[in-house]
Amino acid sequence: MIQSLFNSPLLFVLSILGLVVAITVHEFAHALAADHLGDPTPRSQGRLSLNPLSHLDPLGTVMLILAGFGWGKPVQFDPYNLEHPQRDTGLISLAGPASNLVLAVLLGFLFKTLPAGFASLLLPLIYTNIILAVFNLVPVYPLDGEKILSSLLPKHLSFEYQSIMRQYGTLILIFLILPIYGGSSAISQLISPVISLILNLII
Protein backbone atom coordinates (compact mmCIF):
# COMPACT_ATOMS: atom_id res chain seq x y z
CA MET A 1 0.00 0.00 0.00
CA ILE A 2 2.87 2.39 0.73
CA GLN A 3 3.57 2.62 -3.04
CA SER A 4 0.17 4.24 -3.58
CA LEU A 5 1.33 7.17 -1.43
CA PHE A 6 3.46 8.28 -4.38
CA ASN A 7 1.25 7.03 -7.21
CA SER A 8 -2.08 8.25 -5.84
CA PRO A 9 -1.87 10.14 -2.52
CA LEU A 10 -5.66 10.60 -2.37
CA LEU A 11 -6.28 6.87 -2.77
CA PHE A 12 -3.66 6.18 -0.10
CA VAL A 13 -5.34 8.55 2.37
CA LEU A 14 -8.81 7.18 1.60
CA SER A 15 -7.62 3.59 1.98
CA ILE A 16 -5.99 4.27 5.34
CA LEU A 17 -9.07 6.19 6.49
CA GLY A 18 -11.27 3.31 5.38
CA LEU A 19 -9.22 0.78 7.33
CA VAL A 20 -9.16 2.92 10.48
CA VAL A 21 -12.93 3.47 10.36
CA ALA A 22 -13.66 -0.19 9.59
CA ILE A 23 -11.45 -1.48 12.42
CA THR A 24 -12.84 1.08 14.88
CA VAL A 25 -16.47 0.20 14.09
CA HIS A 26 -15.64 -3.51 14.18
CA GLU A 27 -14.02 -3.46 17.62
CA PHE A 28 -16.58 -1.03 19.05
CA ALA A 29 -19.36 -3.42 17.98
CA HIS A 30 -17.66 -6.27 19.84
CA ALA A 31 -17.44 -4.10 22.95
CA LEU A 32 -21.03 -2.90 22.67
CA ALA A 33 -22.34 -6.45 22.27
CA ALA A 34 -20.37 -7.70 25.28
CA ASP A 35 -21.60 -4.77 27.38
CA HIS A 36 -25.20 -5.37 26.30
CA LEU A 37 -24.92 -9.08 27.18
CA GLY A 38 -23.77 -8.33 30.70
CA ASP A 39 -19.98 -8.18 30.67
CA PRO A 40 -18.54 -4.84 31.90
CA THR A 41 -14.96 -5.72 30.90
CA PRO A 42 -14.83 -3.75 27.62
CA ARG A 43 -16.42 -0.71 29.27
CA SER A 44 -13.90 -0.81 32.13
CA GLN A 45 -11.06 -0.98 29.60
CA GLY A 46 -12.31 2.04 27.66
CA ARG A 47 -13.31 0.04 24.59
CA LEU A 48 -16.92 1.24 24.51
CA SER A 49 -15.85 4.17 22.34
CA LEU A 50 -15.70 5.19 18.68
CA ASN A 51 -12.35 6.87 19.25
CA PRO A 52 -9.91 5.04 16.93
CA LEU A 53 -7.15 5.43 19.51
CA SER A 54 -9.09 3.09 21.79
CA HIS A 55 -8.97 0.29 19.25
CA LEU A 56 -5.87 0.59 17.05
CA ASP A 57 -2.94 -1.70 17.79
CA PRO A 58 0.49 0.00 17.31
CA LEU A 59 1.99 -2.83 15.24
CA GLY A 60 -1.29 -3.40 13.41
CA THR A 61 -1.38 0.30 12.50
CA VAL A 62 2.16 0.22 11.11
CA MET A 63 1.20 -2.81 9.03
CA LEU A 64 -1.81 -0.88 7.75
CA ILE A 65 0.47 1.78 6.31
CA LEU A 66 3.20 -0.51 5.01
CA ALA A 67 1.21 -3.47 3.75
CA GLY A 68 -2.44 -2.41 3.65
CA PHE A 69 -3.21 -5.22 6.08
CA GLY A 70 -3.49 -4.64 9.79
CA TRP A 71 -5.52 -5.30 12.88
CA GLY A 72 -6.97 -3.65 15.93
CA LYS A 73 -6.66 -4.52 19.60
CA PRO A 74 -8.91 -7.52 20.34
CA VAL A 75 -11.80 -6.70 22.66
CA GLN A 76 -11.47 -8.72 25.84
CA PHE A 77 -14.54 -10.12 27.56
CA ASP A 78 -15.16 -12.56 30.40
CA PRO A 79 -17.45 -15.47 29.45
CA TYR A 80 -18.26 -16.00 33.13
CA ASN A 81 -20.14 -12.69 33.10
CA LEU A 82 -22.40 -13.91 30.29
CA GLU A 83 -25.73 -15.60 30.98
CA HIS A 84 -25.25 -18.04 28.10
CA PRO A 85 -21.47 -18.16 27.56
CA GLN A 86 -21.35 -20.29 24.41
CA ARG A 87 -24.20 -18.53 22.62
CA ASP A 88 -23.23 -15.04 23.76
CA THR A 89 -19.59 -15.52 22.76
CA GLY A 90 -20.85 -16.22 19.26
CA LEU A 91 -23.06 -13.14 19.29
CA ILE A 92 -20.22 -10.92 20.50
CA SER A 93 -17.97 -12.30 17.79
CA LEU A 94 -20.64 -11.87 15.12
CA ALA A 95 -21.20 -8.23 16.09
CA GLY A 96 -17.90 -7.11 14.56
CA PRO A 97 -18.38 -8.43 11.00
CA ALA A 98 -22.09 -7.56 11.12
CA SER A 99 -21.31 -3.93 11.97
CA ASN A 100 -18.96 -3.67 8.97
CA LEU A 101 -21.62 -5.05 6.64
CA VAL A 102 -24.25 -2.66 8.02
CA LEU A 103 -21.87 0.29 7.56
CA ALA A 104 -21.09 -0.85 4.00
CA VAL A 105 -24.82 -1.03 3.18
CA LEU A 106 -25.46 2.45 4.63
CA LEU A 107 -22.54 3.87 2.67
CA GLY A 108 -23.89 2.08 -0.39
CA PHE A 109 -27.15 4.00 -0.11
CA LEU A 110 -25.16 7.23 0.19
CA PHE A 111 -23.02 6.17 -2.79
CA LYS A 112 -26.13 5.91 -4.97
CA THR A 113 -27.39 9.39 -4.03
CA LEU A 114 -24.18 11.39 -4.48
CA PRO A 115 -22.74 12.73 -7.75
CA ALA A 116 -20.29 10.28 -9.34
CA GLY A 117 -17.21 12.30 -8.39
CA PHE A 118 -18.08 12.37 -4.70
CA ALA A 119 -19.53 8.87 -4.65
CA SER A 120 -16.25 7.39 -5.87
CA LEU A 121 -14.59 8.63 -2.69
CA LEU A 122 -16.77 6.23 -0.70
CA LEU A 123 -15.66 3.13 -2.62
CA PRO A 124 -12.49 2.45 -0.56
CA LEU A 125 -14.50 2.68 2.67
CA ILE A 126 -17.28 0.42 1.36
CA TYR A 127 -14.80 -2.10 -0.03
CA THR A 128 -12.69 -2.17 3.13
CA ASN A 129 -15.69 -2.82 5.38
CA ILE A 130 -16.81 -5.71 3.18
CA ILE A 131 -13.32 -7.22 3.14
CA LEU A 132 -12.96 -6.94 6.92
CA ALA A 133 -16.37 -8.52 7.50
CA VAL A 134 -15.90 -11.46 5.13
CA PHE A 135 -12.30 -12.10 6.15
CA ASN A 136 -13.24 -12.25 9.82
CA LEU A 137 -16.00 -14.77 9.13
CA VAL A 138 -13.46 -17.38 8.03
CA PRO A 139 -13.71 -20.02 10.81
CA VAL A 140 -10.03 -20.09 11.75
CA TYR A 141 -8.51 -18.86 15.02
CA PRO A 142 -8.00 -16.01 15.88
CA LEU A 143 -10.69 -14.70 13.52
CA ASP A 144 -14.27 -14.10 14.65
CA GLY A 145 -15.53 -16.94 12.49
CA GLU A 146 -13.84 -19.48 14.75
CA LYS A 147 -15.82 -18.31 17.79
CA ILE A 148 -19.03 -18.04 15.78
CA LEU A 149 -18.73 -21.60 14.52
CA SER A 150 -17.78 -22.83 18.01
CA SER A 151 -20.95 -21.27 19.42
CA LEU A 152 -23.07 -23.21 16.92
CA LEU A 153 -21.52 -26.63 17.53
CA PRO A 154 -22.62 -29.08 20.24
CA LYS A 155 -20.57 -28.52 23.37
CA HIS A 156 -18.29 -31.54 23.00
CA LEU A 157 -17.53 -30.72 19.36
CA SER A 158 -17.10 -27.05 20.21
CA PHE A 159 -14.50 -27.89 22.84
CA GLU A 160 -12.56 -30.14 20.47
CA TYR A 161 -12.71 -27.59 17.66
CA GLN A 162 -11.48 -24.79 19.91
CA SER A 163 -8.68 -27.00 21.23
CA ILE A 164 -7.46 -27.71 17.68
CA MET A 165 -7.78 -24.09 16.64
CA ARG A 166 -5.86 -22.79 19.67
CA GLN A 167 -2.98 -25.11 18.76
CA TYR A 168 -2.90 -24.81 14.99
CA GLY A 169 -5.23 -21.95 14.01
CA THR A 170 -2.57 -19.28 13.68
CA LEU A 171 -0.38 -21.53 11.55
CA ILE A 172 -3.37 -22.42 9.37
CA LEU A 173 -4.21 -18.74 8.94
CA ILE A 174 -0.64 -17.86 7.99
CA PHE A 175 -0.67 -20.65 5.41
CA LEU A 176 -3.97 -19.37 4.01
CA ILE A 177 -2.63 -15.81 3.74
CA LEU A 178 0.69 -16.67 2.07
CA PRO A 179 0.69 -16.16 -1.72
CA ILE A 180 0.55 -19.37 -3.72
CA TYR A 181 -0.02 -19.92 -7.44
CA GLY A 182 -0.02 -16.72 -9.44
CA GLY A 183 0.75 -14.60 -6.37
CA SER A 184 -2.74 -15.11 -4.94
CA SER A 185 -3.39 -16.57 -1.50
CA ALA A 186 -5.76 -19.42 -0.72
CA ILE A 187 -7.86 -17.19 1.50
CA SER A 188 -8.11 -14.59 -1.26
CA GLN A 189 -9.42 -17.21 -3.68
CA LEU A 190 -11.89 -18.32 -1.02
CA ILE A 191 -13.37 -14.96 -0.07
CA SER A 192 -12.94 -12.86 -3.24
CA PRO A 193 -16.13 -14.21 -4.91
CA VAL A 194 -18.12 -13.46 -1.75
CA ILE A 195 -16.65 -9.95 -1.51
CA SER A 196 -17.44 -9.27 -5.18
CA LEU A 197 -21.01 -10.53 -4.76
CA ILE A 198 -21.68 -8.32 -1.73
CA LEU A 199 -20.05 -5.29 -3.38
CA ASN A 200 -22.20 -5.72 -6.49
CA LEU A 201 -25.34 -6.03 -4.38
CA ILE A 202 -24.52 -2.85 -2.47
CA ILE A 203 -23.46 -0.57 -5.30
Residue 27 a catalytic site member: yes
Per the CB < 8 A criterion, the answer to whether 111 and 119 are in contact is: yes
Catalytic pick among 27, 83, 146, 160: 27
Read off φ and ψ for residue 143, nearest 5 degrees.
Answer: -75, 160
Fill in the DSSP letter of residue 171.
Answer: H
Catalytic positions: 27
